[in-house]
Structure 1
Amino acid sequence: MGDIRQSLLPRDVLSAAKELLYHLDIYICNLVQSGRQPPQVDSKTQELVEEFILHAPKDRNTPARRMSALQELQLLEIMCSCFQEQSRDTVRQLMFSALFSLQGNQADESRMVLLGKLVSMAIAVGRVPILECAASWLQRTHRVYCVRLAQVLVDDYCSLVPGSGPTLQNIHSASPRFCCQFITAVTTLYDLTTEELTPPLELLQMIVSWIQDDPRLVLINFLNTPLSGNHPISSLDVTPLGGLMRWCVKAPLAYKGDKKQALTNSSTERGREVGPLFSALHLSVLQVLMLLPNILNEKGLYGRLALLQMESLASLTSDLSRLLDQADKHAPSTDTRALPQLALDRLAQALQVSMANGALLCSREDLRAICSRLPHNNLLQLVLSGPVMYYNNIHSPAMAFSPHAAHSPIASHPTHPPLPTHPPLPTHPSSHPQYPAQPFMTGMSFPFRPSH
């Protein structure tokens, strides 16, 4: 394609960009049809993209070409149409890669700006092919740039334009794969350490409703992607489960601004809204974890692939320890007195259900080491001391079972008589009657061994 440069130079910026997109489409179609593996856009084509679409000057003596706001809008519309009209997904993905794969040069900033505007427009006008290409881009790109794209979309649909949230809401049904990657990116972006890094209320409501409507949504990338053991550490996580768990555990102790206002069911209007949302999100995350044994067994990955990483868990417990120390320095009010225990209870529940369902692969000793700085919590103590329990139904008294039992020849041919049953242990009155029992823990007795 290098020979078309001379024909593009006399054209105005919009006409040149449109013409190059046309030739790029033809070039990639021919590349795919040739059967070359892997199909790869050559460096000369990349240089044309940078010069005539991203407007990076070819050399220092060449003035940069600039588009007006109207021309830029027209270019975005042309690109939307181009991807919509191309029926072959392989061609679309290669075109998207040629336009937006980061090259480590000065044109990358222009790539990111144009990408943010294109994906935002694709959400607004429902261009699913672009959203699918963007999902692949999020999967293979360094997380630093992924969160930048997520920030642009949150600003466009949750901050800058009031009432535009329902448009973003629709990506749940339009492109579940992009929606899953978007959730992973925003949970990476917002870590609840500052007011700026706390998810906007509208975004939180949206994510909760998405997962409640379809719990498998957060597993779509995992279900549809061939996984290897060398997942790049710089990429986004395979699922947003770790980020969502971090939100739920830290939320009761996350403070706002200088007033250190907790995100809880306090007397404030925001507290009344946010508290139940994080509770609903926590339950949804546990329900998603309950889906994993069958899925991991089907893929032959049970006990071999951890969807939650120990490094991420260690970072969470470290953050939680710091937040608990901060909470101790402030005289607790009636509304905030129970917050430390709520955060620790959620951590304990998440750890137990994660281990029981194969999402977290570690020993009790590893868990005790990671949680050693945390204050005592009855439920967390049970998790750190007792055996792994497998939960069959999150809404009813839990039954102990092994996800491997149905696939084990030993299970189908028992050689020992069943052990006699024992009467249940007597229940003890709760030392904290103000805390209602979690539904999925009701009726379950744990062997307790005090830690030394």
Structure 2
Amino acid sequence: MAGSDIKQSLRKLDFPLCARDALYQIEKLCTRPGKQMELQIDLMSEFVFGEIERRRKRNVPAAIQELQLIEVQSDFFQSPGGIPAVRNALFLSLYPAGSPRYKILGNLVSLAITIHNKAVLNAAGIWMQQLGSTSQESVGLARHILNDYFVLTSKSVDRLQQLPILTPHFTANLLTAIGEVYKDKNPPTEVLRLIGEWINDNPSLLLTSLMDNPALPTGGIPMTPITPIAGLFRWCILSPVRTAAEGSTQNEDEQKLYSKIQHLLMDSVLRLKSSGSNKHAISAQHLAATTRALTLVLQSFSNIEPTSRDLAMERLAQAVSSAMSANCIYGNKQELLLLLQSLSYQHFLIEWTLQTYSTKAV
């Protein structure tokens, strides 16, 4: 069927039926030689998202249309008969980088979590990896999910607890993005507790994105995954000094949670030592950014207690030394070790790390 014929057929249908049928037409186009990408984009814009003026129904509230669209997409992605790689590619096309459709995406993924729609969540996990799980888009999706489950409907947070078992690839990328959400501040205790439970009950989650190959069409190039490890190390390292800089103290529960996560991270990293693989688990640049942040806090606030300062530097030394020992750190290691030098006189573990690994940072 020619593109004009497809459009003419869809224009006979009211929304949301036109959106449903458009998705199946786009899916067919994805499997054909040539794929007719321009036609796919036109069908998405006019019939799926109603972005063409004549397709907007002014007598139907926008919120109702959005809900109908989310239900149509949810049903489409979990319907039988589709090729996962094709539908994952379609998902990426529906929500390209820089798109204004992210509110719809956030609501679609939140619904998928609630009803355990694995197909949508798997596609969302690949979307996050392909755009970058620390990208603005992925972090925005993580914020949307956190707001839905920790703010708007806090009593439904238990829906998140089974995510690592339901869809580990999505959860791993979400965890990396959550690490960026709280890049510059300590996370709420409820979030901290959930993350601790996730990685305690599913230790392999921290490395899932390295081991799972996303289902993409032939010729699709998987983007390099980013593990949650560096972002979570940042939480643990900076939390004592951030709290002290604010003039407050961590309660016993928070102290235990950070300590637990730090040890789980180190255990996961050290397990890589014997595997001989996954040499790209941690970016030296990410640890360097954490080192800069710690140095800045220590220089900016004179009211930080020695115990908080020492705990932060101890955790930094543990993170760097475990990563160097396991040979799972990539990037500019020399820059990282150079940044550590300014802290080495303040803590013996940092000094030891420098002495032990300076000659190996090549």
With the shorter chain as reference, the TM-score category is 0.7 to 0.9
Give the C-alpha shift of residue 57 in structure 1. Answer: 2.5
Equivalent residue number for residue 204 of structure 1: 192
Equivalent residue number for residue 382 of structure 1: 352
Equivalent residue number for residue 52 of structure 1: 47
Change (3 A) 1:76 1:361: closer
TM-score by length of 1: 0.69
CA distance in 1, matches of 2:190, 2:225: 23
Aligned match for 1:134, one of 113, 116, 124? 124
* Alignment of 1:160 onto 2:129: no
Equivalent residue number for residue 284 of structure 2: 310
Change (3 A) 1:294 1:223: farther
Equivalent residue number for residue 273 of structure 2: 293
Equivalent residue number for residue 372 of structure 1: 341
TM-score by length of 2: 0.86
Q: Which digits, 9 at most, give the CA deviation of each residue in 1:361-382, with x for residues without a partner?
A: 5899655411133251022122
Residue correspondence of structure 1 range 17-416 to structure 2 within 5 A: 17-28=19-30, 31=31, 34=32, 36=33, 40=35, 42-57=37-52, 64-65=56-57, 68=61, 69-87=63-81, 88-102=83-97, 104=98, 108-109=99-100, 111-142=101-132, 143-191=135-183, 193-194=184-185, 198-225=186-213, 238-255=226-243, 260-262=246-248, 264=250, 271-295=251-275, 297=276, 299=277, 305-328=279-302, 330=303, 336-360=305-329, 366-374=335-343, 376-386=346-356
In the alignment of these two chains, the number of paired residues is 345
CA distance in 2, matches of 1:245, 1:40: 43
Change (3 A) 1:290 1:50: same
Give the C-alpha shift of residue 169 in structure 1. Answer: 1.5
Give the C-alpha shift of residue 145 in structure 1. Answer: 0.6
Change (3 A) 1:368 1:146: closer
Tell me which moved more, 86-95 or 319-328: 86-95
Change (3 A) 1:365 1:169: closer
Tell me which moved more, 120-129 or 10-19: 10-19
Q: Which digits, 9 at most, give the CA deviation of each residue in 1:363-407, with x for residues without a partner?
A: 99655411133251022122222369xxxxxxxxxxxxxxxxxxx
Give the C-alpha shift of residue 20 in structure 1. Answer: 1.6
Max Rg structure: 1
Conservation of the 8 A alpha-carbon contact between 1:341 and 1:377: yes
Equivalent residue number for residue 7 of structure 1: 9
Q: Which digits, 9 at most, give the CA deviation of each residue in 1:255-286, with x for residues without a partner?
A: 49xx814452xxxxxx2322111110000000
Give the C-alpha shift of residue 244 in structure 1. Answer: 1.0
Change (3 A) 1:384 1:134: same
Change (3 A) 1:362 1:157: closer
Tell me which moved more, 212-221 or 354-363: 354-363
Aligned-residue RMSD, C-alpha:
2.9
Change (3 A) 1:49 1:165: same
| Matched letter for residue 308 of structure 2 | L
Conservation of the 8 A alpha-carbon contact between 1:138 and 1:236: no
CA distance in 1, matches of 2:172, 2:274: 20
Conservation of the 8 A alpha-carbon contact between 2:203 and 2:264: yes
| Matched letter for residue 290 of structure 1 | L
* SS state at 1:55 partner: coil
Give the C-alpha shift of residue 241 in structure 1. Answer: 1.0
CA distance in 1, matches of 2:120, 2:129: 14
Equivalent residue number for residue 218 of structure 2: none
Conservation of the 8 A alpha-carbon contact between 2:209 and 2:225: no
**Percent identical residues:** 27
Change (3 A) 1:342 1:56: same
CA distance in 1, matches of 2:16, 2:210: 40
CA distance in 1, matches of 2:334, 2:106: 45
> What are structure 1's unaligned runs of at least 5 residues?
227-231, 265-270, 389-452
Give the C-alpha shift of residue 347 in structure 1. Answer: 0.7
Give the C-alpha shift of residue 163 in structure 1. Answer: 1.0
Conservation of the 8 A alpha-carbon contact between 2:281 and 2:328: yes
CA distance in 2, matches of 1:387, 1:313: 15
Give the C-alpha shift of residue 64 in structure 1. Answer: 4.8
Tell me which moved more, 211-220 or 19-28: 19-28
CA distance in 2, matches of 1:15, 1:369: 60
* SS state at 1:86 partner: coil
Equivalent residue number for residue 18 of structure 2: 16
Tell me which moved more, 319-328 or 10-19: 10-19
* SS state at 1:372 partner: helix
CA distance in 2, matches of 1:82, 1:365: 49
CA distance in 2, matches of 1:119, 1:97: 14
Give the C-alpha shift of residue 128 in structure 1. Answer: 0.4
| Matched letter for residue 272 of structure 1 | E
Change (3 A) 1:71 1:57: closer
Conservation of the 8 A alpha-carbon contact between 2:47 and 2:55: no
| Matched letter for residue 153 of structure 2 | V
Q: Which digits, 9 at most, give the CA deviation of each residue in 1:65-120, with x for residues without a partner?
A: 56533343233222212111134212321331332233x5xxx10x2121111111
Q: Structure 1 or 2: larger helix share?
A: 2
CA distance in 1, matches of 2:310, 2:189: 24
